[in-house]
Structure 1
Amino acid sequence: MRLEKTPIVKCEVLPGRTERRLSYSKHPPRGALRVIDFVLQLVIAGLTVGSAYALVALGYHVILRATRAINFSQGEFVVLGGLIAYTFVHVLHASPWLGLLGATAAGFALGWIYERIVLRPAARNGDIAVIIATIGCVFILLYGHALIWGSLPQPLPPFTGAQGQALHPGGVAIQEQSLWVFALLAFALFVLWLLFERTTFGKAIRAAAVNPIGAQLVGIDVNAARAASVGIAIALAAFGGTLLGPITLVGGTAGTAIAIKGFVGAVVGGLDSPLGCALGGLAVGVIEKLLAGWLPYQAVDPVVYTLLLFALIVRPQGLLGRRGAVRD
């Protein structure tokens, strides 16, 4: 069997970002098979980071359903969740799995508090006040976690195996952590569906969102239902930040970019459709990585944001959304 020399792949952390960018050190691969392997590698990387965008998009969906508002600080809660998991692992010497559970539980508690002290008071002054409040919280959270954990990204160990350990089907490398990301994203989707469609608690949350007055008349605590919804959304963000931590590092200033790209995914897929939000987030991740494999990274974000503009013009309800579904 003849061994062929393959192009050298380098891994770099981009300035101001907490994601590692894979690129060929000299030139893109030559030959049909190498190009296919290269594209497949980019797709896998896109699905991995797109899983975080999908969880952020799902958070937008849950909060929008409950409060009729967009939470633009969702991305900072992704970063904060990863840093909480980092504290569990490196300070309390817990396993990454306990870090994941702890960060998710802390995310739910933070979301409950966030709804009580930020969203609920702001909602009394209208939707614009809520949007401004969530934007203000972006900077509070950004500088807050920088003061506590520092401004440099921090590493998280993988859930299983050694750092960077990967499977190699064909000419493609798939990190073990990426497999956990895919599996746990599917698990989160299933749990959300089960919660909102098959439990009394979930149906109470839905009723409080659709008809608050009617829900109160049948004994549902509307404020508690809204707080629980926001808690679930922030828990999803913390969950996603911990999942990606072993691959992209945690901390830094990537929260705003994650929030925007998660929002793009939600709009493309359909803000009123949980499946659409998840698929939209995955699609944005794949598109981003495919572009990053062939274009300078400075050109990637403008193309992704152009996708948002195009989606709003062509199909504002999203691919799986219903026209007028998010209107009051």
Structure 2
Amino acid sequence: MLPARNKHITIASLSKNFLLLKSLLLWLAPLILAGCGTSDSSSKSMFTIPAKDHAVYEQLLAEPETKIRYIKSFDLTTLACREVWPENPDDVRSILVFIHGTATQSRLYLPLADTLKKNNIATVLLDLRGHGLSGGERGDVPSIDALVRDVRITLDSIRNAYPGKKIILGGHSLGAGLCLKFVEFFSSRKKLYTPPDAMILMSGGFLMSKDCDSSEASRLRDYQNGRSFAKIDAMDIALYFPAGYFGIHPKSIEVLLPTEDSAVARAVKQGLFTTKYSVQFFLASFPFEPRLTYRKLKFPVLLVAGKQDELMRTCDAIYSYEKLHEPNKELFLVSEANHTNIIWLSAGAIAEWINGLETEMDSN
């Protein structure tokens, strides 16, 4: 029989680990069931670079650095933010703070920022710790609350630097999941939580629908045949919880990139990607209870999805839109967009939506 105190600690630890395991399975299950996770090193990347997009990637590699803001996080890790402002900053009313997806960094989102700039909207592109110009160990986090604390500190820093501006929080893919996790974690901590004025979830952060059009399921199945999002080491994942007690986080998930493309190969050579991740990083990125979190979104929300997305189903985006309790909500489905080029193909519509919000605020 365990002493009462130790018994309490053990039960609490098991409960916490069950919640973490549930969250992990919620994230990994769609990847594994869809064929997106593999232990086969010969699998091709889920992603491809259409010929029409190649010039965009080449331009991004040649793009000079924009204004960089460096922020010290709670553990003194340096967070880098690319800032893109219109010519007359005093006329700017809204700032989009945007979080990138898995493997990449803020540089990929400059086309979005450039479009918003032309529409008198400022953009702050955050490099997550371990990515881009930010500090921190590549592909890992020291704790499950590290990323949401980074986001809160970033938002507070931008608010303090630019008082009076509306702050919109947005994210792409994993970054969208992190936006939701930020709300999940801090909304009950009233003294620490200042909600954003609006939120944009792009190609991620969607609830899974049980009912999906068979033609879409067939499209994804046919495309994903022989392809994978990541190479997963099942043994390392099984060892996550026991190893975690000793502060060891094996990087058991390796994102597969389309390195047959010359621009991607050059970016990999230049160290612009982060591809190897610990389980802990993904647990730190996604909400434990996404459905409950949706009920806490009490501000305007824009969902953006591509009809040619290699990973996400548009039926999930539609279902998520229907489940939003917030009346001020919008869904954009972009016909020709895949998981990546939606960043620039949806930029004009996003700018229009943000400017529409500003008009609504004027009339209220």
Same fold (TM over 0.5): no
Shorter-normalised TM-score: what interval? under 0.3
Q: Which has the higher contact order (CA 8 A, sep 6+)?
A: 1
What TM-score results when the alignment is normalised by the length of structure 2? 0.26
What TM-score results when the alignment is normalised by the length of structure 1? 0.28
Higher helix proportion (structure 1 or 2): 1
Higher strand proportion (structure 1 or 2): 2
